[in-house]
Amino acid sequence: MAAARILLTQRWPEAVEAALWRDYDTTILEHTLSVPEWRAALQEYDAICPCVTDRFVAELGETGPVKTRLLANYGVGYNHINLDAARQLGLTVTNTPGVLTDATADLAMTLLLMVARRAGEGERQLRAGQWRGWYPTHLMGAQVSGATLGIIGLGRIGLAMAHKAHYGFGMSILYHNRRELNDSAVARMGARFCANVDDLLQAADFVAIHTPGGQDTRHLFDARRFAAMRPHAYLINTSRGDVVDENALIAALDAGQIAGAALDVYEQEPRVPAALLERENVVLLPHLGSATLSTRTAMGMKVKANLDAFFSGQPVPDRVL
């Protein structure tokens, strides 16, 4: 029996590619799919393995009968895939939860520390030859140890960040979820549930976003939410770029409503507004949340596990649709 034909839109870690080449008729494009390319690929491949940059839009649901049966997404977030369109074509959709939890939480803590301690500013100053030596008021930042961290979305990644922040830095934890968690790990940290987002914002020194993307959370952080934050507070976002209204964020920074922001994701990736690039109190990273070799390899192996199950007629382990 011929091996299933699968399409990767980007290069993956070598170990994953080798495993896929062994078991599947694999094609690698190395670029983001356009709508016409999506349509052509749906007629040619048994499975397509998209990344966050590959947008499966609503109009693709009108493509008609297709050869593709599985979208095996490389990543835990899947708001770039229009599930109604996928359903219309009869596609199964999977993702890669769990394996990127610690890497993304580590990166969120990296952002928090960088923006609090003005690490980006300091490195730029030193590399530019502008550092004139130690003095008492040089690049004074915010204290992290003992501060209050507010987490929007205490799922796997949010909980991992809370654990690192509380036990590593003695931070007090506030969190907002759809409902209060009855979880022993949360109770041991003394994490306090805030049913209202604004209550959390009014009490937190740092606010970290860990919500899913999609219409329900688009521009969750808008002008009203920034106005509710404390003027010395910092925003950290490693979730999805469209959770934050970037124009509202820029206005809040200009008005001094918040002290700064640290971002790994953006509304129009890879485009980043010049008004953010120019600010010293904003830390900007190029979507590195899961970017460790072990994590990206594990993500790829998760995709392969879903492919293997699907094409052997077994239930896929990470089914989204």
Catalytic option among 39, 156, 192, 287: 287
Average pLDDT over residues 137-148: 98
Q: Which of 234, 103, 87, 85 has its CA nearest to residue 161?
A: 103
Average pLDDT over residues 128-133: 97
First to last CA, the chain: 27
Quote the pLDDT of residue 214: 84
Residue 303 and residue 218: Cα distance in Å, rounded? 27
Residue 194 in tokens = 């805030």
Average pLDDT over residues 225-251: 97
Q: What is the pLDDT of residues 279-296, one digit of tens each?
A: 999 999 999 999 999 999
Amino acid at 297: T
Quote the pLDDT of residue 27: 98
Q: Is 287 one of the catalytic residues?
A: yes
Average pLDDT over residues 50-64: 95
Give the sheet arrangement for strand 282-284, strand by strand.
192-193, 172-176, 148-152, 206-209, 234-237, 260-263, 282-284
- What is 5-99+293-311's CATH topology? Rossmann fold (3.40.50)
Average pLDDT over residues 27-37: 96
Catalytic option among 176, 210, 225, 240: 240
CATH, domain range 101-284: 3.40.50.720
Tell me the Ramachandran region of residue 176: left when phi exceeds 0, alpha when psi lies from -120 to 50, beta otherwise.
Answer: beta
Catalytic option among 17, 192, 269, 279: 269
Q: What is the pLDDT of residues 193-233, one digit of tens each?
A: 999 999 999 999 999 999 988 888 999 999 999 999 999 99
Quote the pLDDT of residue 215: 87
Average pLDDT over residues 122-147: 98
Average pLDDT over residues 62-88: 96
pLDDT over 70 (residue 1): no
Which band of pLDDT confidence, cut at 50, 70 and 90, is reported for residue 2? confident
DSSP 221: B
Task: State the span(s) of the chain assigned CATH 3.40.50.720.
Answer: 5-99+293-311, 101-284
Q: What percent of the chain has pLDDT over 90?
A: 98
Global pTM? Answer: 0.94
Q: Is 37 one of the catalytic residues?
A: no
